[in-house]
Structures are given as C-alpha cells and as structure tokens.
Amino acid sequence: MKERLLNNLRRYRALLMVTLAAGLVMNMSACSLIEERAEIEIGETPLLGAEESPDSDTILSHRERWCVVSEEERHQAMENFDQESLAFRFEQLLIASCEPELYPGKLAIAVKSLLQSSTEEPSVRRVVAMIAEFSQSQQIHLNELTKLQKKLDETIEAISDIEEGISQRKEEVKP
C-alpha cells in the first residue's frame, strides 16, 4: 500500500512538473522579446483610436512594444486604459496578454467584452479570438494544476497517516 502511494506521489509530482513546464513555455511564447525595442508612450492613444484599420502585423507589433516596457509602466497603462470603450478594452487585452498571470481579471473582462462587441475589423477579431483561446487554455491548465495539487496533498497526508500507524505499531510491539 505504501509503495503504491509513493508511486502515485511520484506520478503526481511528474504531472505537476509537466504542467508547470507547459505553463512556463506558454508564458514565454506569449510575450517573446523582439530585437527592435521600440518604446511606447504610456499616455499614447490606444491603437484602435490611432489606426483606422490595423492589420494583424500592426496589432502584434503594438503588443510587443507593450511587452518590452517595465511591469510598472504596464500597470500604469492598465489603469489609464480602464474605460469601457472598445479601443481601451483592446489596449488592455494587448497589455494583459504580455503577462496574463498578473492581470487575469482584466484579461478575462477584456476578452469577454471584446468577444461580445461587434467590431468589424477582421484582424482585431482574429487577435481577440487567439488571445481568448490562450486565456481559456491557461485557465484549463490552472484548474488541472489545482486538482493535481489537491491530489498531491491528499497523497502526502495518506502517507503521513500510514507512517504514523507504522510507528505506533512498532511502539506497541517493542519488548
């Protein structure tokens, strides 16, 4: 029984490590640094307010510019763009996608709001759909990680109980 629990524990740890590695890879790919580090002005007009019909390349370049600024500057920008308009929600989505673990609530709100909006820009719809799928995938991985952590905790507790029982039996058997 103890050997089975230890094997389960090893399997859960391996699954946990694979899940963590997958999350790390997803995060790294979500915000890859670019060689051209064009600075972005914090008070800058949102992309959808400055560009009439941005293509996917323009949108992704704009997002990459947000990803290379400091976390503090992105946080300040998130607060500056905290309004209900489509342009501001889209800007928040681009900023939050750089480090989704820092802004899960704002990312979810922006995704939901933008998916419900009736934007006619195909490139905007495609980028929103892509980030929405990434966000959903990240949530699935986080849920799995939580389940694995719970199982790991239960297994550790069960092993501790078994060890405690063995110790008590040894004490009772002592001559």
For residues 70-76, average pLDDT: 89
Residue 136: predicted pLDDT: 87
Q: Is the pLDDT of residue 163 over 70?
A: yes
Residue 41: predicted pLDDT: 61
Q: Of the spans 20-24, 103-107, 162-166, which averages the highest pLDDT?
A: 162-166
In terms of residue numbers, what domain contains 126?
A: 2-173
Residue 150: predicted pLDDT: 94
For residues 89-95, average pLDDT: 90
Choose the weakest-confidence range: 69-78, 88-97, 100-109: 100-109
Name the more confident of 88 and 118: 88
pLDDT in tens, 18-59: 665 555 555 555 444 444 445 566 556 788 876 678 888 999
Residue 43: predicted pLDDT: 57
- The overall pTM is greater than 0.85: no
3-state secondary structure the chain: CHHHHHHHHHHHHHHHHHHHHHHHHHHHHHCCCCCCCCCCCCCCCCHHHHCCCCCHHHHHHHHHHHHCCCHHHHHHHHHHCCCCCHHHHHHHHHHHCCCCCCCHHHHHHHHHHHHHCCCCCHHHHHHHHHHHHHHHHHHHHHHHHHHHHHHHHHHHHHHHHHHHHHHHHHHHHCC
Name the more confident of 69 and 9: 69
For residues 89-116, average pLDDT: 87
Counted domains in the chain:
1
